[in-house]
Amino acid sequence: MSTLFEQGPSDRADAASTRPESPIELAVVVPTYNERGNILPLLEALAKALTNIEWEVIFVDDHSADGTADVVREMAHTNRNIRVLERIGRRGLSSASIEGMLATAAPYLAVMDADLQHDEKLLPRMLERMKVKKLDIVIASRSLREGNAGEFPRDRVRLSLLGNRISRFVCRCEVSDAMSGFFLVDASFFRRVAPRLSGRGFKILVDLLATSQQPIRIGEEPYQFGERRWGESKLDIRVGAEYLYLLLDKSLGRVLPTRFVVFALVGSIGVIIHLGILALLYYRAKTGFVEAQAAATLSAMTFNFLLNNVLTFRDKRLRGWRVLNGLLTFYVACAVGALINLSVASSLFRSHVVWWLAGICGLGFSSVWNYGVNSVFTWRREKS
Ligand code: GDD
Ligand code: MN
């Protein structure tokens, strides 16, 4: 497959004003969010580590309040190998890395964190290995199993190992640290898979590994994960949800829209809640059946709405008074959904379809209805 790099410079119009420079070989892409204090130390560390390599660095900053992008611009003013890509109104480590990687002409792309937890001294070795062995990806792996994860809390290590195990299913490959945020990728390989990347959440490497349709030539370099020197980690509870989304996208997402799958999952948790409350009221509180069923329905619907608001429609999340408004729309949509459920199921049952199949079909129709109507009316994207 021919790439841009195969065309000689003479093919292009003579850019007379630009003086010839040796071509950039390596682009280091650094996603940043409130990392002001780390920029200078990182640049110094990179300059020290990459002495024999033509490199550039692209910081992809999501409009950090601490002025990270301005700090980079100040450095970039006198050094054309430093660049900043600032995104306004966007968030996300994966999408930032992807956009950074697309913003360079270098044939080799490294992604690393800004906080000096990733050992930049590994980069020349990774690059050499990629070139000699003609690899697509070289992963800098925190050898978690040997307890080499630096000052990582035990829970995080355990969570990472679990994530790794799960990722093996979607990646269909054996790597020791698919959760690593530090790796090198061949640019033409990257651009081949880029259009199909999910771009959600933190796990850009899992995304890359799971998206490639051809077998990937992978190398791994073990290293010691360092300690964050300045600022704090941005990984929080949201990351788990984002990871779930990415995994669904890369597995079931091939057949069903991921958002619908999450919506259905939330719905099934709602069923369990419904039955729990019903049992509690009916058996323990000795409430009449109809009252108990009504209370259970209302609670399960409210619970579903709230969970959908933070999980399924996180990107269109309703806040403030809009929550109340949305809740009302959700009730109405689901009530109509329940009527559809009843009429589909009962008409099938009357046509002698077996009871459980009639039940499932009713549920299926109402779920699709609920999903469709709520995505259009309850969680419509509002300009804020
Ligand atoms: N542009 C952008 N947008 N950058 C972000 C965002 C975002 O929304 N969130 C985080 N970053 C940047 C941070 O500024 C930092 O440079 C890098 O991404 C990693 O974020 P940390 O908050 O330091 O992550 P971590 O150290 O807890 O997690 C690291 O280890 C994980 C393995 O468990 C990262 O390398 C993860 O990628 C990795 O999966
Ligand atoms: Mn970090």
Q: Each residue of 137-156: pLDDT tens digit?
A: 999 998 655 445 555 666 77
For the Cβ of 307 lying below 6 angstroms from any atom of ligand 1, the answer is no
CA atoms within 13 A on the CB side of 204: 26
Name the residue at shortest CA distance from atom 9 of ligand 1. Answer: 93
For the Cβ of 58 lying below 6 angstroms from any atom of ligand 1, the answer is no
CA of 132 from ligand 1 middle (Å) equals 30
CA of 59 from ligand 1 middle (Å) equals 13
pTM, 2 dp: 0.74
For residue 8, is pLDDT > 60? no
For domain 4-232, the CATH superfamily is Spore Coat Polysaccharide Biosynthesis Protein SpsA; Chain A (3.90.550.10)
Question: Can you tell me which atom of ligand 1 is nearest the CA of 87?
Answer: 1
Number of Cβ within 10 Å of residue 190's Cβ equals: 20
Q: 363: exposed, middle or buried (C-beta count within 10 Å: 0-12, 13-18, 19+)?
A: middle
Name which residue leads in pLDDT, 106 or 359: 106
CA distances (Å), origin 105, targets 23, 171, 200: 9, 27, 24
Q: Is 82 helix (H, G, I), strand (E, B) or coil?
A: strand
For the Cβ of 178 lying below 6 angstroms from any atom of ligand 1, the answer is no
Q: DSSP letter at 241? A: H
Q: What is the pLDDT of residue 32?
A: 97
- Residue from 113, 119, 139 whose mutation best tests the ligand 1 pocket (most atoms within 8 A of CB): 113
Name the residue at shortest CA distance from atom 21 of ligand 1. Answer: 233
Name the residue at shortest CA distance from atom 28 of ligand 1. Answer: 235
Residues 6+ apart with CB under 8 A from 82: 43, 56, 57, 59, 72, 75, 76
User: Amino acid identity of 169?
Assistant: F
Model confidence over 9-21: pLDDT tens digits? 454 545 555 556 7
Q: What is the pLDDT of residue 384?
A: 45
- Residue from 98, 223, 235 whose mutation best tests the ligand 1 pocket (most atoms within 8 A of CB): 235
Q: Taking ligand 2, which is a single-atom ion, which protein residues have CB atoms under 5 Å away? A: 113, 115, 117
- The alpha carbon of 90 is separated from its chain's Cα centroid by a whole number of angstroms, namely 13
Question: Can you tell me which atom of ligand 1 is nearest the CA of 61?
Answer: 1
pLDDT band at 1 (very low <50, low <70, confident <90, very high): very low
Q: Determine the average pLDDT of the residues in 194-201.
A: 88
Name the residue at shortest CA distance from atom 38 of ligand 1. Answer: 181
pLDDT band at 106 (very low <50, low <70, confident <90, very high): very high
Please name the helix (run of DSSP H) or strand (run of DSSP E) that holds residue 268, with its range, or none: helix 258-279
Model confidence over 326-369: pLDDT tens digits? 999 999 999 999 999 999 999 999 998 888 898 889 989 999 99
For the Cβ of 233 lying below 6 angstroms from any atom of ligand 1, the answer is yes
For the Cβ of 113 lying below 6 angstroms from any atom of ligand 1, the answer is yes
Task: Provide the mean pLDDT of the chain.
Answer: 87
Q: What is the pLDDT of residue 146?
A: 47
For the Cβ of 234 lying below 6 angstroms from any atom of ligand 1, the answer is yes
CB 303, CB 270: distance < 8 Å: yes
Q: What is the pLDDT of residue 38?
A: 96
Closest-lying ligand to the alpha carbon of 200? Answer: 1
Q: What is the pLDDT of residue 369?
A: 93
For residue 382, is pLDDT > 60? no
CA of 61 from ligand 2 middle (Å) equals 15
Q: What is the pLDDT of residue 153?
A: 67
For residue 162, is pLDDT > 70? yes
For residue 79, is pLDDT > 80? yes
Percent of the chain with pLDDT over 70: 90
For residue 198, is pLDDT > 70? yes
Q: What is the pLDDT of residue 214?
A: 86
Length of the chain: 384
